[in-house]
Structure formats: structure tokens, C-alpha cells
Amino acid sequence: MHSTSESSLERYSFELSFSERELRELRRRLIAINWPGDSDNADWRYGVNQSYLKELVNYWLTDFDWRAVEQQINAYSHYRVPIDGVPIHFLYKKGIGNKTIPIILTHGWPWSFWDMQKVIGQLTDPAAYGFSSDDAFDVIVPSLPGYGFSNPAPAGINFWRTADLWQKLMTEILGYGRYAASGGDWGALVTSQLGHKYARSLYGIHLMHTMALDQFNNDRPWDVLASHKVAENTSPEIRRQSLDRMKVFASHYAVHILDPQTIAYGLQDSPTGLLAWLLERWRSWAQLENQDLESVFSREHMITNAMFYYMTGTVASSMRFYADSVRYPWQPSHAGLPVVQAPTGITFLGGENPAGVSTTQRIEAFKNGPKAGWYNLHYMEAHQKGGHFGYYENPQAVSSDIRKTFAGLRD
């Protein structure tokens, strides 16, 4: 298989860095926060608990070492390439083996490319983890357009337009004839669109989430509860669990679709406010032990992701991804069935099991549900450990499922 040599990419070589002036200004803003009251909120019932947020801000000010993190990140090769006028940043790590194939891993919100760090080694050098070198991948991890170092992005960028950019990145910029793709959250929609529109260019796809490509094509796209009904004969406990599950996405979708620019003024102006907005999602969507955020995310990782959004000035453009997925509705590229024709592998994690469905029941429940018909199903596995941020929460399971998905598709 042909691929562009890394030497020919050198003109696009990129190092992540923030100036001392920028870091001083960040510190000034962290010190100058005007704290609101927060009574009777030890259980986070009103949102992010202030005591914990103050601990994290103090860590950010006194213990977090951006230069050390910067050095870790820059140990990988990074590039920033203009594609159709959009600067696209990506991490690129070649695999070790004689049968490597390329795979593009796509993150979501409030993720970043760095959420994929734990699977990169397992995919590029599986032999080092006790697996066959024949399962190695060349790993490409871009930042979504309008996120982090893929900026500035023009108005109108959304998941299906991103898929067009990824196709050009993989085939025209990097020169691969065929490639694999994996994604979660927005990355799952981008990857599904690749499997729909560009199936002939793909060995197959792997998904962390199964979301219909037309999910925003309705009268109330901001209302995540509208299409999720709980049957009246459901037990009170299952009904409560189902409603609680839906509530954690309600404000997120509504604000990001209806008012992303409005809230962005506050979040871009206040790094503390931005951290709080991110914390609410991490705490609500990850699979935590005893509601402890740090049972999943290190403080360093949380602050690093906050830095990516804040220091690059991409709070607004990243959130507009939602609004522009509604404003510019998805339209099918062909009438073939299944809609996603590329062979599809799916990882299910227990932290996102539907109410009343156990991990052992998850695959069968999906097969009998309304979404299975969207995909050319090739591989599925369910694991108890992990929530919404699977690449970071359970990298062993995810990397294993990726290897297994493509094990029979490499020829």
C-alpha cells in the first residue's frame, strides 16, 4: 500500500506550544475569578460543586505543569495541513510490522485528540503488548475542525463535512489507497459518514457509539428527550434510570444547538467557567467509582483538555459543530442499504448500557433495536468497564476490539 513518506510531510510539521505571555494571562484570569454562591450543593444537584472546582483551579495554578505536558505531546509527530482552506492538525504514528494498515481515530466534545493517547501504542506496536505484529496500524489522530489546533474553521463545519476532509487527508495528503476508521461521540458520526459515503475507500469502520446519521433531521433536534420514550408499563426503577440517563444530555444539546455563541462569550472569557462546563460532562458521562471524577481522569488530563479549548480560542467554534449539524442537515449520498455499507465493528461499554439492559444482554438488545439496520455489522463486543470516553476509560478493550474488527478485513 502506498503512503506519503513522513519526510514529504515535513513542511507541515507542527509543535504544540503556548507562549509565556499567554500562560501569564491565563494565570491572571484564574486568580481573578469572581466566585458565585454555592449552598446545599455537596451532591452536585445544582451543577458543579464549588469546593471541588476550587481544588482543580488551585491545582491548575500551583501544580499543573504545561511545559511537561507539552513535551509529552510533542514526543509524537504532529502536522497541520490546509485542506479545502481548513487547517487540520493531526498526530501521526507509524505502526511497527509488515502488514500495517492506516486508521484514523476521531474524537468528540468535550474530548480532544489527546484522549486517544492510551490506545496509540497498543495499535501501532501490538507486539509490545503481547499481540501479533500483523495487527499493527499506522495511527492518525486529528483534531476536529474548529477544535484545538485545527483552527480557524469556517462557519458551517459539521460531522458530515468533516468526513469529506478526512477522506482527503487520508487519500490525497497521506496517500493511502484504503484505510480504517474509528470514532466516538462526534467521531462516531464522522466515522459512520465515512462508512456511508466512502465505503470503497475503507477496510471498515469501528464505532464507540451508534448514532443515526439523520438524528438532527427533525423538528426538535435540541430536545434529546423528544425521541426517547419510556414505556408506561416500565418498572418505576427502570423508568427512573432511563429518565436520569436522558437528563444528563438535555442542557448540553439544547445550549450547544440553540445558543453556542452566547455561552461561548462567558466560557472563553473565564477558564474557570469553561472548566466547570467540561467537568459537568466528564462527571455525567464517564463511568465513575463512587462519583469520583479522578477514578477515571487524572487532574493533569482534565486541565490539559481545558487548555486545548481555552488557549486556542476554540470554545465557540467547537460548540457550533452542534448548531451547524442542524443548520446543514445530513443528506444520504446513495440509496443503498444498509446506509453504512462499510463493514462495521462496535464496542459497547457498560457505563452506557440502556436502563434495564445488562452488559451480557447489550448486543442482543442492539440487534433487536431500531439502529442495527443502519450498519453492515461485522463485529460487536460488550464490556462492563467504561463509559462515554472509552478510548481513555478502557483502552485495552477498545484497542482489542479495533484489532478484532479489522483482523479479517486487511486483505
Angstrom distance (rounded) from CA 91 to CA 169: 12
Residues paired with residue 72 on neighbouring β-strands, in sequence order: none
Q: How far is 383 from 289, CA to CA, in rounded Å?
A: 16
Alpha helices in 228-354 (DSSP H): 236-258, 260-269, 271-285, 299-311, 315-327
Phi, psi of 159 (to 5 degrees): -70, -40
Q: What is the pLDDT of residues 50-61, one digit of tens each?
A: 999 999 999 999
Selected from 3.40.50.1820, 3.40.1010.10, 3.40.50.2300, 3.40.50.720, the CATH number assigned to the domain covering 6-33+48-407 reads: 3.40.50.1820
Q: In the chain, what are the domain boundaries? A: 6-33+48-407
Q: Provide the angle, in degrees to the nearest 10, between the axes of the packed helices 260-269 and 271-285.
A: 120
Distance CA 15, CA 13 (A): 7
Question: Going along 36-85, which residue ranges are E strands?
Answer: 77-83
Instruction: Burial-class residue 12 by CB neighbours within 10 Å (0-12, 13-18, 19+).
Output: middle
pLDDT in tens, 119-175: 999 999 999 999 999 999 999 999 999 999 999 999 999 999 999 999 999 999 999
Q: What is the mean predicted confidence (pLDDT) over 197-204?
A: 98
Residue from 53, 47, 13, 64 nearest 307 by CA: 64
- For 288, the 3-state DSSP assignment is coil
Q: Identify which has the larger pLDDT, 291 or 117.
A: 117
pLDDT at 259: 96
Hey, how many other C-beta atoms are within 10 angstroms of the C-beta on 229? 9
Cβ 186 vs Cβ 325: under 8 Å: no
CA 132 to each of CA 92, 127, 129: distance values in angstroms, whole numbers, following the listed order: 21, 5, 9
pTM: 0.95
Query: Which whole number is the average pLDDT over 326-348?
Result: 97
